[in-house]
Structure 1
């Protein structure tokens, strides 16, 4: 409960400053006006429809990027040849700025959903790859040798040794990937589109509707916090054995 004191205090001060005329409503709307706008957008179905489109993009990008990141991490972590072949290009690609890739993706894929999902998938791929690879490399080699001495097959070693050993860092990587996926979505939705929270915000910017812009940003933040909370819950369940 104490953690809510400072956010509530900030909102109250914000509201008082707006009511006192210290903040220009053309620059920043009051919390009460933003809440009223949000209720209106919910009632007419606009906010729900746009949020669903953005959520679908994030989920699809996360699934694609996560699968690629996990697969490459397993290959690089279990094979020296795989590490030499995979890790150098992955380290180079992860330094590329998202904003710099937008023009290239538009050239390759056009203005549809493909460049947006690809951008999100790239953002989600690297944290999961790096953390999973670090988790695999951190597994005690004596444990792997014990698994081999018990004549476990390669698949059984991955299932019973590698996955449990790397799981804590993999879940940490998943949380980071989710956060970057939402940030990537914001960048991806700067690509011209006719649906999504980015579309809602871009239209509001054209008409100087600051309250709508803040509502869109608040939904981005709420979705990010919600998905992070879901992963943290899964993390507690999956890693209950560590306690």
Structure 2
């Protein structure tokens, strides 16, 4: 089955594309055969509000981590935890202060952020380009999708021996491992969103004789953004997961290196400081992506919104 072609409709309809196929919240088929939706009764709107998740509380997602820290603190204060196996929050906080004071934590964090940032950047760019090539072209789909589906079944970490052979054990290998994990995640979600665009929008674009550029701007981009942001959120998490592993392979700096060194001397407090650092950056980066997603996709009416 061939993909619908854009730009093959009859010209001279007298109606411009931007008036009928706008981007964002107004991206709906318009025409004489479409009956406007009836207004929702006030009672139904009230019921929908009651059935929803309720008003969002600022920093509400911190409730779970704070509860976990409280349980950890109580177990340590009641001597249920052996400090040789798991240090208490007070000891971890004191160790973090010492690491900050002598500059070790900041130096390692900056190195880790650089690795994760470069891997995320290259991975997102590669994933989007591959998704567009496979999602907008039947030949591209035949050429790329099967290969990337196979790659999805192969963990990036399983390719470490081969990547070390090819790229050595330096920074290039570390960034490549992170980028591979991010690229596949972004590709899968963006490609699924592209191929899942309602065919009615494509048919409407054909009937209006939209150019290829107008079709991409008015139909493809708004339709693929939700899937792209899902892939981006998962890609951010994948970048941190890959970073944890590659920083323990012949590294001389980074949070993972600091944790590996602490393992040799049974310093559980330093290990927990590293875990907390990973958790904070992972949570903050996901929250940043969510904030951008809410702003860009503010036209969508969802339960979470």
Task: Verify same fold: TM over 0.5.
Answer: yes
TM-score by structure 1 length?
Answer: 0.94
Q: 1:181 to 1:82 in 2, by over 3 A?
A: same
Map 1:22-101 to 2 at 5 A.
22-101=80-159
Query: Which residue of 220, 223, 228 maps to 1:165?
Result: 223
Kindly provide the CA deviation profile for residues 24-51 of structure 1, in whole angstroms up to 9, marking residues without a partner as x: 2111001100011111112222111111
> Residues of 1 paired with 2:285 and 2:294: CA distance?
14
Report which stretch shifted further, 219-228 or 152-161: 152-161
Q: Which residue of 2 aligns with 1:211?
A: 269
Map 1:132-211 to 2 at 5 A.
132-211=190-269
> Residues of 1 paired with 2:137 and 2:150: CA distance?
20
TM-score by structure 2 length?
Answer: 0.75
Matched residue count? 243
Secondary structure in structure 1 of the residue aligned to 2:122: helix
Secondary structure in structure 2 of the residue aligned to 1:204: helix
Structure 1 unpaired stretches of 5+: none
Report which of the two has the higher share of helix. Answer: 1
Q: 1:4 to 1:113 in 2, by over 3 A?
A: closer
> Residues of 1 paired with 2:277 and 2:224: CA distance?
33
The Cα of 1:151 is off from its aligned counterpart by 3.0
Q: Over aligned residue pairs, what C-alpha RMSD do you find?
A: 1.7
Map 1:103-142 to 2 at 5 A.
103-142=161-200
Q: 1:154 to 1:69 in 2, by over 3 A?
A: same
Q: 1:97 to 1:3 in 2, by over 3 A?
A: closer
Secondary structure in structure 2 of the residue aligned to 1:242: coil
Kindly provide the CA deviation profile for residues 96-154 of structure 1, in whole angstroms up to 9, marking residues without a partner as x: 12332222111111111011101100110112111111111111222123223333322
> Residues of 2 paired with 1:222 and 1:202: CA distance?
19
The Cα of 1:73 is off from its aligned counterpart by 0.6
The Cα of 1:13 is off from its aligned counterpart by 3.6
Secondary structure in structure 1 of the residue aligned to 2:83: coil
Q: Is the 8 A contact 1:124 1:178 kept in 2?
A: yes
Q: 1:4 to 1:156 in 2, by over 3 A?
A: closer
> Residues of 2 paired with 1:183 and 1:177: CA distance?
10
Structure 2 unpaired stretches of 5+: 1-56
Q: 2:264 aligned with 1:224, yes or no?
A: no
> Residues of 1 paired with 2:212 and 2:77: CA distance?
67
The Cα of 1:5 is off from its aligned counterpart by 5.5
Report which stretch shifted further, 89-98 or 146-155: 146-155
Secondary structure in structure 2 of the residue aligned to 1:192: coil
